[in-house]
């Protein structure tokens, strides 16, 4: 079904021009991605994907500002709303251009099917309509038509501007065919030419195998993320910790465990030293501890004791013993047993220690 570029009711919205480029797109129908472990956490990390979109350019030609509503109106019965979504190609700070009211700000609808925007006098703005058709039940290849419609946001009945667009959907070409001897590809090309470009049965048959191995390929394509302390999924942290011979405590937060794995090699280099122990405790507690590892003779009460002497110290710290002091705003949030485990793991075998967790005030 081909759309008409004539406005509804014959009323054209004055003072604006609309251009759609490209107005004819050819896209491959791709299956919905399988639910695999890595996909559940893809939203946490930046994921670059090729954009399949068309650009709507709107210009004010009458020297006036216009508040418009931009929407897509399908003209094909098989069109699915989730195939398209409006996004901003460029955002502007309206408060710097006199538009301080909330109703003058740009806004995309919750379902992404329409957007409201301000076009200032003499301004030209571009908006992106992202298209992502998926292979699903009831979806068939072919050409789907749609209209891009502009109307006045305050008075929709005052007129509109329409421009048609078309999207052709086709099944993807099989990639496994390229891995077979060239005689298969040559025969498939001959059969395709005889059938006016239609994919032969054998090529479509191979697509089933591609669908079956696509989740594995998606994992292999992002295999490097499994080995990064900040990119690996949480369920892989324990496995990644074994690579650097670090026992991971489930009581540690996810980010604490990620930092620990990241610095594991450096911690091993300084294991058994004051520096290594201090950094290990800092990763868990978030603050740098004070570690005193010099022997101290405590104050003795007797005839030779001089009260008030500058070198007088309370408490005896014998040789091969160190004192760890941790000052945190809320000592209750620190698991003392975990700190003891850290010290026992990091300290030299012949040493003893004393631990103090103190409250720190601002």
What is the tens place of the pLDDT at every residue in 85-104? Answer: 998 876 555 544 555 544 45
Question: How many residues appear in the chain?
Answer: 362
Q: Edge-to-edge strands of the sheet including 53-60?
A: 16-21, 53-60, 124-131, 84-88
CB neighbour class for 328 (10 Å; exposed up to 12, middle 13-18, buried from 19):
middle
> Is pLDDT of 128 > 60?
yes
What percent of the chain has a predicted confidence (pLDDT) above 90?
A: 27
Q: What distance in Å separates the CA atoms of residue 249 and residue 257, rounded to the nearest whole number?
A: 8
Q: What is the pLDDT of residue 91?
A: 59
Confidence of residue 48 (pLDDT cuts 50, 70, 90): very low
Q: Decide the pairing of beta strands 142-152 and 84-88.
A: unpaired
Domains in the chain, ordered, with CATH?
Answer: 8-170 (2.60.40.10), 176-221 (no CATH), 232-303+311-359 (no CATH)
Confidence (pTM): 0.50
Query: For residue 31, what are the CA distances in angstroms to 53, 78, 137, 216?
Result: 18, 17, 10, 14
CA contacts within 13 A on the Cβ side of 352: 6
> What is the per-residue pLDDT across 266-324, written as a single tens digit (0 to 9) for each?
999 999 999 999 999 999 998 999 998 876 665 555 555 565 555 555 556 677 889 99
Is the separation of the CB atoms in 295 and 317 below 8 Å? yes
Q: What distance in Å separates the CA atoms of residue 234 and residue 243, rounded to the nearest whole number?
A: 15
Distance of CA 256 to the CA centre of its chain: 20
> What is the per-residue pLDDT across 192-250, written as a single tens digit (0 to 9) for each?
888 776 778 888 888 888 878 877 887 788 888 888 898 888 888 888 888 888 878 88
């Amino acid at each position: 079904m081909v759309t008409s570029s004539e406005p509804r009711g014959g009323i054209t919205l004055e003072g604006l021009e609309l251009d759609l480029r490209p107005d004819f797109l050819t896209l491959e129908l791709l299956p919905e991605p399988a639910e695999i472990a890595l996909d559940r956490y893809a939203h946490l990390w930046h994921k670059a994907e090729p954009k399949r979109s068309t650009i709507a350019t709107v210009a004010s030609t009458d020297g006036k500002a216009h508040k418009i509503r931009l929407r897509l109106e399908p003209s094909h019965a098989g069109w699915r709303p989730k195939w398209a979504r409006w996004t901003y190609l460029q955002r502007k700070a309206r408060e710097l251009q006199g538009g301080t009211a909330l109703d003058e700000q740009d806004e995309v609808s919750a379902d992404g099917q329409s957007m409201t925007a301000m076009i200032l006098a003499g301004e030209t703005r571009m908006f992106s309509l992202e298209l992502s058709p998926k292979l699903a039940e009831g979806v068939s290849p072919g050409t789907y038509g749609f209209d891009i419609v502009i109307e006045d946001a305050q008075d929709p009945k005052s007129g509109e501007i329409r421009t048609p667009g078309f999207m052709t959907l086709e099944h993807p070409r099989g990639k496994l065919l390229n891995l077979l001897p060239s005689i298969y590809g040559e025969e498939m090309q001959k059969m395709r030419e005889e059938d006016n470009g239609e994919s032969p049965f054998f090529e479509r048959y191979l697509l089933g195998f591609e669908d079956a191995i696509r989740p594995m390929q998606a994992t292999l394509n992002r295999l490097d993320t499994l080995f990064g302390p900040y990119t690996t999924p949480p369920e892989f942290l324990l496995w990644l910790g074994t690579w650097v011979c670090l026992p991971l405590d489930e009581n540690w937060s996810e980010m604490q465990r990620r930092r620990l794995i990241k610095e594991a090699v450096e911690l091993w280099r300084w294991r058994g030293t004051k520096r290594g122990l201090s950094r290990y405790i800092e990763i868990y507690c978030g603050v740098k501890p004070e570690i005193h590892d010099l022997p101290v003779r405590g104050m003795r009460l007797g005839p030779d004791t001089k009260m008030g002497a500058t070198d007088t110290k309370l408490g005896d710290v014998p040789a091969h013993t160190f004192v760890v002091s941790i000052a945190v705003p809320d000592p209750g949030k620190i698991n003392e047993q975990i700190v003891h485990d850290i010290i026992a793991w990091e300290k030299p075998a012949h040493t003893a220690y004393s631990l103090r967790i103190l409250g720190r005030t601002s």
